[in-house]
Amino acid sequence: MKSFIIFCCSIISISASAQFNYPATKTVDSTDTYFGVTYHDPYRWIEHIETPEVETWFKQQATYTDGILNSLNGRDALIAEWKKLDKLTPAMIGSLRYENGRLFYRKTMPGENVGKIYYRQGMNGQEQLLFDPTTYIPGKTLSVQSITPSYDGKKLAIAYSEQGAEVSTIKILDVDSKKFSKDAIPATGGFGGWAFDNKSFLYMWIRSADSKDPTSRLSPKTKQHVLNADNSTDKDYFSNGSYPELKIDPAVYPYAMLDKDAPDYVFAGEGTVQNEMKLYYAPISEFNAAKINWKVLCTPADKIVRGIVLKGDDAYAITYNNAKNYKVVSTSLKNPDWNNASTIAAEQANKTIEGITSSKDYLFITYSDGINSFISKYNFATKKTFNVKLPFTGTAWIMCFDTKSNNCLLEMTSWNKPFTEFNYNASTEALTPSNLNKPAVYPKAYQELVTEEVEVKGHDGVMIPLSIVHKKGIKMDGSNVCFMDAYGAYGMSATPYFNDMMNSLAVKGVVVAYPHVRGGSEKGEAWYKAGFKTTKPNTWKDFISCAEYLVQKGYTAPERLAGTGTSAGGILISRSITERPDLFAAAICNVGCANAMRLEFGANGPVNIPEFGTIKDSVESLALYEMDGMQHVVKGTKYPAVIAVGGWNDPRVVAWQPGKFAAALQNATSSQKPVLLKINYDNGHFTEDKEVTYANFANQFAFVLWQCGHPDFQLKK
């Protein structure tokens, strides 16, 4: 492979139209040659996001975009509607952790922007406030990333961050006194877990908190901190530095953990986006050893994915080994042998296994037919399996925060049914309304939304599931605005859930559509791998096929059709509009990967190589080119209106990814339609803060509805 870069700057004036006079964007003569093919990258300079020149360019783009967005009707009304819906929602309780009779949780009251941390003695004890992230640092609204009680329930590790940054400060709270100890670990990759003696804990050390530094996430380490000790003495517990014989790649996150349901062992793993797990384990007697003799629990060749449950000396796991729709198997930790593991739940022809979890006596197995969930429970003692009767159809999952009992939570939702939670006793099958979360009661218009599940013939004849949500009685004459949302990566399925923000568009007459494109796993492992690396074009081609179907059937027309893709979905949306610019009126590239050939050069890029590939491989470099929206922008093409959104504190998709895509489109489009770059300086990849979230999505939605001609979202007079 030969690679070279040449920079020769030239300032050009951008004026895609007289109507939109964008801030000036220069181009440079920058090229890379991989395996005999030369690729031009005139916006490479935007990657130097730490320089004053680039920072100024982003601010100019943000100011220009804000000026246009501020002139749109309907945006503020959307925010007001979402706030009204939020106040209809009862207190939301999540992040449940149960230790030594104490229940810890995050609770967000109606109208609150972020949740506060509480605890109670037992399920029905008196609630006590432990941590308020809105007042802890005056003038700042923090977001709690995780809470982890010690095994005796007397201490609580709180990991919090600021402005959507996924970099945590870890502090230790004494639960009874409600005071913090002197222990404070800044700029971490997250809390790992407590030692069984409650005297130390594990956490992820990273090189730098600067998400704009491409080396900031390389060679991370799991470190061990002893309470009241100086941070500089923290032990390198598990990393390539402490265990070079394991040859852990610099892009990998090496983690270690304990599991109270398998207390005789300590576990470790190599974390990447690769679904196939790579795990190690050792006797608990070695937990504090200077050198642990790690043994292999599983490798990627064992095809263990989606979940592993540890119970005493047994391990239960999901695998796609000789099971494209997955099966659940079990092996002994005394001598793991996945090739001869016992089958606990066989593969089913028309359902995929989505996840496993456990209570004291049962293993719960969640299935999906691509849309609706089904749950079975396996009795550890009798080895018999029974179906769990669900109260309605939709997406369902079991949550067992106390694995020493069979008292669990059954949680459900669907496209048009709000999140509903039940107390579930796995021993008696009793279902009662949850005493934690109560369902929201939305206005009548939301309750009457119609859902349709259809299948669309793809470009290669494969049938693609498509979910459609709309008001009753819509006309099928092409007059409706339609908004499509899809993802298609990492094997993550687009499972139905009640999205109040999207549904607020549906009650306004917008047809909302969710294509279940390849790259997810609605139809099993083969569906995932059919939108992976060299097969990735199926992801956006499926999206295009679903768009064509919606037009053909009269749901909408190209001049009223918009699409969005978030994060890895930036590949989907950027390639959909560069391949079929005539099919869409508007598009959102939301914190999206739109420059796939350069993804591995961002802070979070190397860890994503297993999903998308690397330019160091001759086949994968060509596949990355196919995924790259920026590389496929052609000057003089009539592109749809586009808003590219970047989070200034985003460590996953650095803001220059959507930034370069917007720059290329602004210089190339001949459609007289706007191309805007929105930069959220108070956000990262996402944020818990509702105020920030509402403003972000109201801007996006108002923009595309304006461009699709919705009467409520036009320019102010």
| Spatial separation of the C-alpha atoms in residues 489 and 487, rounded to whole Å | 6
299-332: pLDDT as tens digits: 999 999 999 999 999 999 999 999 999 999 999 9
68 in Cβ contact with 23 (< 8 Å): no
Question: What pLDDT band is residue 613 in, cutting at 50, 70 and 90?
Answer: very high
* 8 pLDDT above the threshold of 70: no
* 16 pLDDT above the threshold of 70: no
CA separation (Å) from 531 to 520, 567, 632?
Answer: 8, 16, 19
Region of 443 on the Ramachandran plot (φ > 0 left; ψ -120 to 50 alpha; else beta) = beta
C-alpha atoms less than 13 angstroms from C-alpha of 655 in its C-beta half-sphere: 30
* 385 pLDDT above the threshold of 60: yes
pLDDT at 642: 98
pLDDT at 279: 98
As a whole number, mean pLDDT of residues 502-530 equals 97
* 17 pLDDT above the threshold of 50: no
551-568: pLDDT as tens digits: 999 999 999 999 999 999
As a whole number, mean pLDDT of residues 96-111 equals 96
Question: What pLDDT band is residue 2 in, cutting at 50, 70 and 90?
Answer: very low
Domains with residue ranges and CATH for the chain:
9-83+474-489+529-707 (3.40.50.1820)
Question: What pLDDT band is residue 11 in, cutting at 50, 70 and 90?
Answer: very low
639-672: pLDDT as tens digits: 999 999 999 998 899 999 999 999 999 999 999 9
pLDDT at 102: 97
Percent of the chain with pLDDT over 90: 92
Which among 715, 696, 713 is positioned nearest to 705, based on CA atoms?
Answer: 713
Which among 90, 84, 143, 77 is positioned nearest to 113, based on CA atoms?
Answer: 143
C-alpha atoms less than 13 angstroms from C-alpha of 707 in its C-beta half-sphere: 28
pLDDT at 166: 83
Question: What pLDDT band is residue 606 in, cutting at 50, 70 and 90?
Answer: very high
User: Considering the chain, what is the average pLDDT of its residues?
Assistant: 95
| Spatial separation of the C-alpha atoms in residues 36 and 105, rounded to whole Å | 56
112-135: pLDDT as tens digits: 999 999 999 988 899 999 999 999
Residue 163 CA, distance from chain mean position = 17
| Spatial separation of the C-alpha atoms in residues 707 and 628, rounded to whole Å | 25
Token pair recorded at residue 144: 């709690």
pLDDT at 3: 35
CA separation (Å) from 191 to 145, 210, 289?
Answer: 9, 19, 21
pLDDT at 703: 98
352-382: pLDDT as tens digits: 999 999 999 999 999 999 999 999 999 999 9
Please name the helix (run of DSSP H) or strand (run of DSSP E) that holds residue 29, with its range, or none: none
Token pair recorded at residue 515: 């294509």
Q: SS3 sequence, 145-203? A: EEEEECCCCCEEEEEEEECCCCCEEEEEEECCCCEEEEEEEEEEEEEEEECCCCCEEEE
* 10 pLDDT above the threshold of 90: no
Q: SS3 sequence, 205-274? A: ECCCCCCCCCCCCCCCEEEEEECCCCHHHCEEEECCCCCHHHCCCCCCEEEEECCCCCCCEEEEEEECCC
59-86: pLDDT as tens digits: 999 999 999 999 999 999 999 999 999 9
251-284: pLDDT as tens digits: 999 999 999 999 999 999 999 999 999 999 999 9
